[in-house]
Amino acid sequence: MERDRFYITTPIYYPDNRLHIGHTYTTVAADALARYHRLRGRDTYYLTGTDEHGQKIEQAARDKGVSPQEFVDEMAAWIQDLWAELGISWDGFIRTTDPRHTKVVQHVFARLYEQDDIYSAPYAGWYCTPCESFFPEGRVEGGNCPDCNREISWVEEDAYFLRLSKYADAMLQHIEDNPEFIQPVSRRNEMVRFLESGLEDMCVTRRRDALQWGIPVPFDPNYVIYVWFDAVTNYISAIGFGEEDSDFDLWWPADVHLIGKEILRFHCLIWPIMLMALGVPLPGQIFGHGWLTLAGQKISKSRGNSVDPRILVGKYGRDAVRYYLLREIPFGADGKYTERSLVERTNVDLANDLGNLLSRVTAMINRYCDGVIPAPGEMMEVDTNLTVVAADAVAEAARALERNLISDSLEGLWKLVNAANKYIDETAPWSDEADDERRGTILYNMSEVLRILAIALRPYLVDAPSEMWRQLGLEASVSFDGTCWDDLGWGGAPSGVAIDRGDPLFPRLDADEVLQDNGKKQERKEETKPMIDFDTFSEMDLRVARVIEAERIEGADRLLRVMVNVGHGKTLQVVAGIAEHYDPDDIKGQQVVVVANLQPAKLFGVESQGMILAAEDGDDLSLLGVEAVLPPGSKVK
């Protein structure tokens, strides 16, 4: 029997820093699915929240000079504001510092300890703070995290372990028996391979002297509970696990845990094993989507390539940002983010295809039908074909959404948008050949397509659909908020209602203008820096240098690896962010200015031992030079 409830979750976000467009991606996707299931009339619970414990939050608060609790309070409020701005329709927002949650985590920990699924033993291995992950000795080479490639620390302490190994076979069996449990299939295969290579027990505590900011182990004050053990438990604590008279049985098991692909293991192995050990049913599905990338790299706070969703929403509106995220990237795969492609999607799909359709139809209804939706007359073949396309598009969107394939569902709906544009051109209601009845039929059919689209687009867009409804004058007879998926059958548009043509749904953007404007804004933001004294300035060793060789760095569109001669027989390797402006061959032999005493740092796996100076103006960039030809190593002062 079809379940009439739907429980969907996003990961709970680390509030150590402002969230970026990558986090927005997960959240908007889950929101679209939640909105779709509500539209289908299913009772829906959409849970999101914040993952507030652990070392990186403790560090971030320390850096800011506030207590961890003050820090996370402010960040959680900021995150809620961000989601509200994007129109996210969450039903629950769980914070792991909520006493309701900490109680459940302690209860689960104690219970697993009592039944010997948690035991104490010494731990020796690596810990990556940005990932909050443990790694056994053999998996780490060269002191960097195997997942995020950042510096990692060695940890040796007595600890508590979760007996994952005991459940490895049962876990594998569950994955095999339930093909939908991990999706897409590539992720499922990845997890099967991982399980088959052997599952070791996992450390689930940190010693209190190494980390204070966590949930205490209830029976041992020397320890706090590992942040991932704490975090995954949110999916049941938020709905009242272990509480009397709670809604737990109503919602659990979750239908979908939507997550990014880098946190698969926690969700597809550790979390289900915790549930198995507790005797609680496993979630229906874990869907691991891909990453939003910039210049070939995952967008992330620590890589310094993050994109602020608020700036995008301010510039383009939330519907454009939501649509872009949901449509541009085949759901499940990685996808490149560029602001230019966002502008193009907005112009082509939203302004031209959809917005123009509404605008043309309402203009013609005003002109030919006194501003009132006409009654349809006799249907010709071209008209009935359109009704078939509409039914097919809606069915295709539903099929895809039932499988969480959001971009495919939009592709399905755009078949109707495109067919409708073609239909107007072919039937040409403006031509002299069309009489009033024919015009009435065509414009009725077009109103009907727009009515259907307004409803079918509700999962993805939050403002445009109701505006379409309003302009079509439908609100007078049918409340938009009351519409549902069942209203998508042909023929629901009431004839005789007065339309109210308004502004374009999505004004066309001038790409060059908006993208250039972006550069200027950034520049203004960075205008002032605090004063420094002369001694600070003279600590910088600036030198004239000559480029010996340069080449592109694979996977990093903006970077060149440049070897420069800095005089006195010395050569430095510098990673420079100039690849979009200079070809490697063009700068060979060029005289440049470098900072020669900068601490080395690794960028995309390549060590950079200095910095080449350049001036920037919006999208333009120019290397700094000196007027005369001087020997490499000449001091710049």
Rounded Cα distance between 324 and 462, Å, is 13
Q: Least CB distance from residue 21 to ligand MSP, whole Å?
A: 7
- Rounded CA separation 320/339 (Å): 11
Among candidate residues 449, 445, 456, the one with its CA nearest the CA of residue 495: 445
Per-residue x/- track, 70-109, ligand MSP (CB under 6 A):
----------------------------------------
Using the minimum distance from each CB to ligand MSP, give the nearer residue, 134 or 423: 134
Closest CB 349 distance from ligand MSP, rounded Å: 21
Q: Within 369-435, where are the H helices? A: 381-402, 406-427
The residue whose two tokens read 């872009």 is 324
262 forms part of the interface with ligand MSP (CB under 6 A): yes
319 binds ligand MSP (CB under 6 A): no
State yes or no: residue 260 binds ligand MSP (CB under 6 A).
Answer: yes
Residue (of 94, 11, 16) closest to 55 by Cα position: 16
Closest among 237, 173, 179, 232 to 202, alpha carbons compared: 232
CB of 415 to ligand MSP, least distance (A): 27
Beta bridge partners of 576: 560
CB under 6 A: which stretch of 69-77, 106-114, 260-268, 468-476 binds ligand MSP? 260-268
Please report how close the Cβ of residue 12 comes to ligand MSP at its closest, in angstroms. 5
Nearer to ligand MSP, 263 or 416 (CB): 263
Per the CB < 8 A criterion, the answer to whether 15 and 50 are in contact is yes
H or E element: which one contains 343?
helix 339-345
- Look at phi and psi of residue 490 and say left if phi exceeds 0, alpha if psi is from -120 to 50, else beta: beta
Report d(CA 559, CA 621) in Å as an integer. 13
Per-residue x/- mask for ligand MSP, residues 500 to 519, rule CB under 6 A? Answer: --------------------
Q: Is 241 helix (H, G, I), strand (E, B) or coil?
A: coil
Are 294 and 337 in contact, with CB atoms under 8 Å apart? yes
Which amino acid, residue 583?
D
Identity of the residue, 300 or 362, whose beta carbon is nearer to ligand MSP in the bound complex? 300
Residue 51 binds ligand MSP, judged by CB under 6 A: yes
Residue 292 vs 472, nearer CB to ligand MSP: 292
324: three-class secondary structure by DSSP: helix
We find the least distance from the C-beta atom of residue 419 to ligand MSP, in angstroms, to be 32
Closer residue to ligand MSP (CB): 263 or 295: 263
46 binds ligand MSP (CB under 6 A): no
Pairing type for strands 556-565 and 611-612 reads unpaired
Instruction: Please name the amino acid found at residue 400.
Output: A
Q: Is residue 317 near ligand MSP by the rule CB under 6 A?
A: no
Among 6, 7, 8, 26, which residue sits at the site for ligand MSP (rule: CB under 6 A)?
26
Q: Quick check: 23 binds ligand MSP (CB under 6 A)?
A: yes
Q: Given the complex with ligand MSP, which of 296 and 492 has the nearer CB atom?
A: 296
CA-nearest of 460, 446, 451 to 483 is 451
228-257 residues near ligand MSP, rule: CB under 6 A: 231-232, 234
Nearer Cβ to ligand MSP, position 23 or 35? 23
Task: Pick the closest to residue 260 from 139, 131, 149, 162 (CA basis).
Answer: 131
C-alpha angle with apex 614: 613 to 619, nearest 5 degrees?
Answer: 150
Residue 12 or 612 having the CB closest to ligand MSP: 12
Interface residue with ligand MSP, options 162, 259, 273, 325 (CB under 6 A): 259
Nearest CB to ligand MSP, comparing residues 11 and 355: 11
Q: Are 475 and 454 a contacting pair, CB within 8 Å? A: no
* 32 or 231: CB nearest ligand MSP: 231
**What residues between 456 and 475 interact with ligand MSP by CB under 6 A?**
none
Of 142, 282, 96, the closest CA to residue 607 belongs to 142
Cα–Cα distance, 308 to 316 (Å, whole number): 13
Interacting residue with ligand MSP among 291, 323, 485, 582 (CB under 6 A): 291
Least Cβ distance, residue 231 to ligand MSP (angstroms): 4
Give whichever of 43 and 262 is closer to ligand MSP, judged by the CB atom.
262
Q: Minimum distance from CB of 394 to ligand MSP (Å)?
A: 29
Select 252 or 506, whichever has its Cβ closest to ligand MSP.
252
| Residues counted in the chain | 637
Choose between 145 and 263: whose C-beta lies nearer to ligand MSP: 263
Stretch that binds ligand MSP, among 179-187, 298-306, 371-379, 499-507 (CB under 6 A): 298-306
Q: Closest approach of Cβ 274 to ligand MSP, in Å? A: 11
Q: How many residues bind ligand MSP (CB under 6 A)?
A: 21
Query: For 247, which DSSP code?
Result: S
Q: What is the residue-wise DSSP string for 580-625?
A: TT--HHHHTT-EEEEETTPPPEEETTEEE-SEE-EEEETTEEEE--
Q: What would the two tokens of residue 534 be?
A: 């002369």
- Under the rule (CB under 6 A), what is the footprint of ligand MSP? 11-14, 22-23, 25-26, 51, 231-232, 234, 259-260, 262-263, 291-292, 298-300
